[in-house]
């Protein structure tokens, strides 16, 4: 396979997919990155991550989205999975109450393993199965507000709100990162000039790597 160094983006953001097994994480990922959906569950077959590059407020953002490859069934997600993640899509299944109850467990897991500033979006997936609904949007909204999360109902099957969910997370991350960069710039311009000091405003989230600005 051709090996190409990819510097054609302004920012690289790692986003993790979490939530119980069977809620549709892998299909959300394939819908977003390849516009594909699979009705048969092949939950043990999974990619480590998939990427998609998109434009947010005039910047080229490369989203690197990590999938669990089924480890969540054994509660065996390693801390490496969360390392460097700046966003998380926490998915439950609107037809399975237990997967919604477990959102709190996933939030604890995020608090234990991920960066405290991680942007979290809760997604109630399978909204196409409204006749089987076991979680009301109101219940979910209450939880989201209490926990400070964004919330959307999605359908990987019908490609409903998948774009919106990722777009919302990525925009929020971009706003946080650009505010931080601005604050660092201001601090640098207010500080007395000290010769030979390098002020590094690069964020750990993977701001433009190894490429000069154009
Ligand atoms: N009706 C419906 N089924 C879905 C949707 N998303 C995923 N599924 C199905 O739910 C099952 C589990 O999906 P999968 O992506 O493997 O879930 P994961 O274990 O969280 O990765 C599969 O049979 C999918 O076809 C959806 O939005 N609507
Ligand atoms: Mg999966």
Surrounding ion ligand 2 within 5 Å at CB are: 25-26, 43
3-state secondary structure at position 15: strand
| Domain boundaries of the chain, sorted by first residue | 2-188
- Distance from residue 199's CA to the centre of ligand 1 (Å): 46
Ligand 2: distance of its center to the CA of 195 in Å?
A: 52
Q: Rounded CA gap, 67 and 14, in Å?
A: 11
Query: What is the share, in percent, of the chain residues with pLDDT greater than 70?
Result: 84
Pick the CATH number of 2-188 from 3.40.50.720, 3.40.250.10, 2.60.40.10, 3.40.50.300: 3.40.50.300
Q: Does the beta carbon of 131 sit less than 6 angstroms from any atom of ligand 1? A: no
Q: Please report the pLDDT score of residue 192 as a whole number.
A: 72
Distance (Å, whole) CA 207 – CA 82: 18
Long-range contacts of 46-51 (CB under 8 A, 24+ apart): 46/70, 49/14
CA 201 to chain centre: 23
Q: CB neighbours (10 Å) of residue 77?
A: 18
3-state secondary structure 122-190: EEEECCCCHHHCCCCHHHHHHHHHHHCCEEEECECCCCECHHHHHHHHHHHHHHHHHHHHHHHHHHHHH
Global pTM value = 0.85
Contact 151, 141 (CB under 8 A): yes
pLDDT, tens digit, for every residue of 148-198? 999 999 999 999 999 999 999 999 999 999 998 889 989 888 877 666 666
pLDDT along the chain (214 residues), means of 10: 67 97 95 90 68 96 91 79 96 98 96 95 98 98 97 98 98 94 88 66 49 36
94 lines ligand 1 (CB under 6 A): no
- Which pLDDT belongs to residue 200? 65
The whole-number pLDDT of residue 209 equals 42
Q: For a pLDDT cut of 90, what percent of the chain falls above it?
A: 69
179 CA to centre of own chain? 19
Please give the distance, rounded to the nearest whole angstrom, from the Cα atom of residue 37 to the centre of ligand 1: 8
pLDDT at 195: 65
Cα 35 to Cα 129, 179, 208, distances in angstroms: 20, 32, 27
């Amino acid at each position: 396979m051709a090996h190409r160094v990819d510097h054609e983006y302004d920012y690289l953001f790692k986003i993790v997919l979490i939530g119980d097994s069977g809620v549709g994480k892998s299909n959300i990922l394939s819908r977003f990155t390849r516009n594909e959906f699979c009705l048969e569950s092949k939950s043990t077959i999974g990619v480590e991550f998939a990427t998609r590059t998109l434009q947010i407020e005039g910047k080229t953002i490369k989203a690197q989205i990590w999938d669990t490859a089924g480890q969540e069934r054994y509660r065996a997600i390693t801390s490496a999975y969360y390392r460097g993640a700046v966003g998380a899509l926490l998915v439950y299944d609107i037809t399975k109450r237990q997967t919604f109850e477990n959102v709190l467990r996933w939030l604890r897991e995020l608090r234990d393993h991920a960066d405290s500033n991680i942007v979290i979006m809760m997604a109630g997936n399978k909204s196409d199965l409204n006749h089987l609904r076991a979680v009301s949007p109101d219940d979910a909204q209450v939880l989201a507000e209490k926990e400070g999360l964004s919330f959307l109902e999605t359908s990987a099957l019908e490609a409903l709100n998948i774009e919106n969910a990722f777009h919302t997370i990525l925009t929020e991350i971009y706003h946080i990162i650009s505010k931080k960069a601005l604050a660092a710039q201001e601090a640098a311009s207010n500080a007395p000039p000290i010769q030979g000091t390098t002020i590094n405003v690069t964020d750990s989230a993977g701001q433009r790597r190894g490429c000069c600005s154009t």
